[in-house]
Structure formats: C-alpha cells, structure tokens
C-alpha cells in the first residue's frame, strides 16, 4: 500500500501529464483530448486531489471537454471576473480575478 502523500504526488504527476497530452492531441482528435480530461478528473477524485488552478480553467466543468480559447471556448472579463463560455454545452464558468 502506497502512503497517502506519495499517492497524491503520483496522481498530480499523472493529471499534469494527461493535460499535456490533451493539449498536444487536441487539433487532430478533440474527442481524445476530452477523454484525457475525463481520466485526469477521475484520477484526481479517486485520491481526493485538487486540480491546480491553471489546469482547472482548461476544461468545462459541465461537459468535461478540453477548452481551447478561440476554438471551442469564449473568454470574457466582466465585473472583476473571468467568464469562460463553452461552445459545446453552451454553459459558462466564472472565476474571480484575484490579486497576487
């Protein structure tokens, strides 16, 4: 049995790798990119891992599709929020713009 912290570390590595693969394969095969996102989310949920912020904004939380701004996603700013509009499922997600 693998200890919890090591398990989460391995899962995070795998999630990052799957997102990298999804980005590279998106142009040729968007369905495969969507499948990679589904697998990454499943892995993260299994070990109770938070997906990093920069990766969270790359997929639709409603239909689990990989988002590429300008192709299947529209990005706007409104009232100190970034709004991502998915063109596949016609839903949107809002993220607060925070100062670092």
Domain map of the chain by residue range? 4-96
Q: Which strand (E) or helix (H) includes residue 86? A: strand 81-86
Please identify, in words, the CATH class of the domain defined by 4-96.
Answer: mainly alpha
Q: Does pTM surpass 0.85?
A: yes
Query: For residues 89 and 72, what is the distance between their CA atoms, to the nearest angstrom?
Result: 10
Please give the chain's pLDDT, 100 residues, in tens: 777 889 999 999 999 999 999 999 999 999 999 999 999 999 999 999 999 999 999 999 999 999 999 999 999 999 999 999 999 999 999 999 887 6
Q: pLDDT of 29-57, one tens digit each?
A: 999 999 999 999 999 999 999 999 999 99
Measuring CA to CA, which residue among 91, 72, 69 is closest to residue 31? 72
Query: For residues 14 and 19, what is the distance between their CA atoms, to the nearest angstrom?
Result: 9
């Amino acid at each position: 049995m693998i200890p919890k912290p090591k398990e989460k570390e391995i899962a995070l590595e795998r999630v990052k790798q799957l997102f990298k693969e999804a980005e590279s394969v998106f142009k040729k095969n968007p369905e495969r990119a969507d499948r990679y996102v589904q697998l990454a989310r499943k892995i993260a949920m299994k070990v109770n891992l938070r997906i990093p912020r920069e990766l969270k904004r790359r997929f639709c939380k409603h239909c689990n599709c990989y988002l590429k701004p300008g192709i299947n996603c529209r990005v706007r700013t409104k009232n100190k929020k970034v709004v991502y509009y998915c063109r596949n499922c016609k839903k949107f997600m809002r993220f607060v713009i925070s100062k670092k």
